[in-house]
Structure 1
């Protein structure tokens, strides 16, 4: 083991007061596992706009008590430098149901209290949207939630909200990261929760807080459609997370009485024993909730991810019979389909001054078309909910109030009670949409068909392309595409190119205009026929993410299946030819 690594380990052990963590490092030292030690001490978990997230374990490249304490001290120092009254306004702290989350949340509270900042700490597990809600509800300076969302069991994470209730964006991320680096050089002070309570620096958020969120959903302006809720039947799973109790309450409040919870996945369990990967997007993750729905012939099979900020739904097919397997009787909606359904539904019921929606650049452009046709606005943002909500706040006005935002990765915010994705309010809104349709003898499939017939069938697909390692020594894919711009993609002429790295849109005739987006290494190609290709190169590994969209129109005789088949063929051609061009 080289002396530089030895010095890093020695410094860490001098600061780490957690015996289990120290024993883990000592065991690696005793076994002479220098390779693992070098990986653990190769840097520290990077703090970005989503906070930090990583595998639980000892060392600065893992999630552990010392990393959480150092991160919390960095947050405290940054807040005190930026927000003059942060000590009095305080910070909301909550946590999910993973094994270490409660301890990490308590460590966070003890560090903040020792730094002189008031802490609002949830008494028990809390869905992530409750923390975002709590920041505004309590007028706090910031919020922190300990969660790894839908990552595998060995992960945990730490997410920060600013005083506006939204996830942090630049420059707060880099400012906090710099403070963390400084905090990591010295011992971290802790104030016990009992001492913090006696010093009036700790307020425990008990059932009244949870009920305030529940009441917020019950009274939300956009959740007042009480058309025939008794007609809706749905199965629900919390996916071993923290959503079940609140989900069942808010559905009951909305009058939805036919709710069937998946018992095996209802209670929090950090091992996630019934799923290979606790993410509703992953194959097999929805199997149990679809089986539960099928048992009751329910209209919907609904899921929240483990921290309940995402919402997923599978819808019973019109030709489903009890003899079918559940996987044949239900079809999962894509995030774009749910987003389009929400946008259409909410704008159809909106007041004249409630017209602002948002989507990310990689989400379906269909929401923009719907908004335009309904005399509404759809702002397009960079990928990530931090951008959706911060842009939503900045763009809204008295006569252009925010109503909805979504990203294709199953994230939705309904109204402006929570300025982050909220899988619980989304659950209620989708049940209300389904109930309204049922009262007319219609289904979700009927509504999707009507939308597609009016606007066209929009098909979206994402592909990650692994490139040869030798490409890492060459200019990036983005640089190559900028130096040698294509004139067509998959035999489709290029109408315009958005280069987000310089904020310019170039048209085929050579004219240009400015794009109002933060700088990012992204290229967006608009093609003839309405197709779209987005390229997001990686600067650190030989990989590029591509997002594709094709649009197919209906003829008078077309069935939805006809159009879907044409769109699938067009998508296959687009993705295949474009990927070959990047090789």
Structure 2
């Protein structure tokens, strides 16, 4: 009862909404219902916590951070032997409240006699999983909102294998959170007063850069090159470590934009995400014009993502997609592996279900092993670790959302490793008198033109989202099955055609349905907590609709391949429009298209 009384008072203190006060006060006499509602406010997904920083139990604030950490702490004690001695790595970025959240998290572990490797000063996100690997820690926490808007923050968890957590750990942590809601300690100063708090920041950072430097294959060429590269860290934490990564690759320093200044308010960009295109890279393009540079490199604020843009001969800028950057980096990794003399059959590369199929095509052509996972590096990283156990050299993975894993430095996306590797690729292209776009065209001619169109609609109503997806799978008027053994809630009634093309393949990872399998059960994990449906058309087009775990979006990913770019591009645009009109009905449901 003490914990419930505490939560009531804390909720009322933090959340001043009159409706909330009335709701809680009315439930004071119904302890069972009150406890149920309060505990349902705390959720912990496979990526950890991420939300705007506000009062309330579904928001990111001191209390929810402490509660999440207490649950994580207890779960570690139950599942990982000697977790206290192995310790936990904690890092934070420059966001508002990041340092405070990190210190509060550290205090929870210190209060339970855990060794805590607490990074002193802001770090980029990949340094936390690298630290878990290097220090053989039991777990890692990174306080960051990545590329989210300025009012957000987040809490990302890495397991003992230095990968983001996946089931069943997320569920286990959530259960422990709900058992440990009342704070044990609320002391951000404990990190400066406890002998159990260890500073390994320089040691780990130096080791990370040494491993990044070991990825270089053409140091002499790099040192001799005078390529101009404009770099923007989007007001994030990337600049210091990006500069050092260029140095360990013997690459020349790049030209900086005014966005090198760390600023949690991101004054020059509405959304600090390189994926937002010219609106995010406008200042970098202006700087490039001023210094007569034709290449732009960008990291997102926590530097785990990487983007590239190139000015063409006609003065127009091309911002390469995550898929395009991915296949170019993959080709580089493949070339380096061949040069090493190892058998290509030992090489493994991975991408996600919504990424381009071009990497899969490349694997079939070149003979390396390819594996597809669910969306997100929590799946890619863990799958890469499993492949390593099987004897593969899993040296590259990517997702279309500009996330790339290069080598085995970090088994997660790393915008710094990708930046250094692409800088070296740029030098090699210069030796061949080629632009980046020329190289991409060369790969297209070799493996086929894989044209993608990815974007999203904004929808703030979860019932509307559910209605849209349920209509796709069950039809306009869902029918209850008469057979009690029927495996789905309603009779399936998927569309049979899309934009005039026959649908030949359907995979629904929300309800666990896959027409390509004899038993109609997909190999990839099923999750009822989000929607994800993939269609294959008779002309080879693959399209996926899915919801976002952290944003109010319905995302779509469509790809078509062929031998002539113009023909493929034209047909793909027609299919995408048809899919939106037929499946999502944006006007009917009030969906807002991405600006």
- How high is the TM-score relative to the length of structure 2? 0.84
Corresponding position of 1:338:
325
Corresponding position of 1:446:
438
Deviations 1:319-338 (A, max 9, x none): 33xxxxxxx3x211011110
Corresponding position of 2:575:
574
Question: Which consecutive residues of structure 1, in runs of 5 or more, have no partner in the other structure?
Answer: 1-6, 321-327, 555-562
Per-residue deviation at 1:514?
Answer: 5.8
Which residue, 210, 214, 217 being the options, matches 1:215? 210
Deviations 1:534-568 (A, max 9, x none): 233699999754321111313xxxxxxxx2x3233
Deviations 1:185-220 (A, max 9, x none): x232356755x6765411023323222211121123
Which residue, 235, 257, 267 being the options, matches 2:261? 267
Per-residue deviation at 1:226?
Answer: 2.8
Q: Cα 1:463–1:126, aligned 2, differ >3 Å: closer, same or farther?
A: closer
Tell me whether 1:131 sits opposite 2:93 in the alignment. no
User: What is the alpha-carbon distance in structure 2 between the residues aligned to residue 255 and residue 465 of structure 1?
Assistant: 43
User: What is the alpha-carbon distance in structure 2 between the residues aligned to residue 309 and residue 102 of structure 1?
Assistant: 19
User: What is the alpha-carbon distance in structure 2 between the residues aligned to residue 52 and residue 540 of structure 1?
Assistant: 9
User: What is the alpha-carbon distance in structure 1 between the residues aligned to residue 445 and residue 418 of structure 2?
Assistant: 25
Corresponding position of 2:104:
107
The answer to whether the 8 Å contact 1:478/1:522 transfers is: no
User: What is the alpha-carbon distance in structure 2 between the residues aligned to residue 227 and residue 495 of structure 1?
Assistant: 51
Q: Cα 1:295–1:228, aligned 2, differ >3 Å: closer, same or farther?
A: farther
The answer to whether the 8 Å contact 1:476/1:539 transfers is: no
Which residue, 327, 339, 343 being the options, matches 1:352? 343
Question: Which consecutive residues of structure 2, in runs of 5 or more, have no partner in the other structure?
Answer: 25-36, 476-490, 586-595
Could you say what secondary structure the match of 1:292 adopts?
helix
Q: Cα 1:300–1:227, aligned 2, differ >3 Å: closer, same or farther?
A: farther
- How high is the TM-score relative to the length of structure 1? 0.86
Corresponding position of 1:226:
219
Per-residue deviation at 1:371?
Answer: 1.6
Per-residue deviation at 1:281?
Answer: 1.3
User: What is the alpha-carbon distance in structure 2 between the residues aligned to residue 63 and residue 288 of structure 1?
Assistant: 31
User: What is the alpha-carbon distance in structure 2 between the residues aligned to residue 370 and residue 512 of structure 1?
Assistant: 29
Bigger shift: residues 484-493 or 156-165: 484-493
Per-residue deviation at 1:471?
Answer: 8.0
Per-residue deviation at 1:395?
Answer: 2.0
User: What is the alpha-carbon distance in structure 2 between the residues aligned to residue 42 and residue 82 of structure 1?
Assistant: 23
Corresponding position of 1:323:
none
Per-residue deviation at 1:73?
Answer: 0.8
Instruction: Give matches, 1:497-576, under 5 Å.
Output: 497-501=506-510, 505-506=514-515, 515-520=522-527, 521-536=531-546, 544-554=554-564, 563=565, 565-576=566-577
Tell me whether 1:276 sits opposite 2:270 in the alignment. yes
The answer to whether the 8 Å contact 1:95/1:101 transfers is: yes
User: What is the alpha-carbon distance in structure 2 between the residues aligned to residue 92 and residue 396 of structure 1?
Assistant: 23
User: What is the alpha-carbon distance in structure 2 between the residues aligned to residue 94 and residue 167 of structure 1?
Assistant: 14
Q: CA RMSD, aligned part only?
A: 3.0
Could you say what secondary structure the match of 1:386 adopts?
helix
Could you say what secondary structure the match of 2:280 adopts?
coil
Per-residue deviation at 1:446?
Answer: 1.2
Q: Cα 1:475–1:463, aligned 2, differ >3 Å: closer, same or farther?
A: closer
Could you say what secondary structure the match of 1:529 adopts?
coil
Could you say what secondary structure the match of 1:530 adopts?
coil
Deviations 1:257-285 (A, max 9, x none): 141111x2112211111111111112411
User: What is the alpha-carbon distance in structure 1 between the residues aligned to residue 251 and residue 552 of structure 2?
Assistant: 49
The answer to whether the 8 Å contact 1:42/1:61 transfers is: no
User: What is the alpha-carbon distance in structure 1 between the residues aligned to residue 543 and residue 270 of structure 2?
Assistant: 32
Q: Aligned residues, how many? A: 543
The answer to whether the 8 Å contact 1:41/1:59 transfers is: no
Instruction: Give matches, 1:153-164, under 5 Å.
Output: 153-164=150-161
Corresponding position of 1:301:
296
Q: Cα 1:192–1:362, aligned 2, differ >3 Å: closer, same or farther?
A: closer
Per-residue deviation at 1:9?
Answer: 9.9
Deviations 1:351-380 (A, max 9, x none): 425510110000000011112211111200
Q: Cα 1:218–1:116, aligned 2, differ >3 Å: closer, same or farther?
A: same
Q: Cα 1:494–1:475, aligned 2, differ >3 Å: closer, same or farther?
A: closer
Could you say what secondary structure the match of 1:168 adopts?
coil
User: What is the alpha-carbon distance in structure 2 between the residues aligned to residue 490 and residue 118 of structure 1?
Assistant: 58
The answer to whether the 8 Å contact 2:92/2:102 transfers is: yes
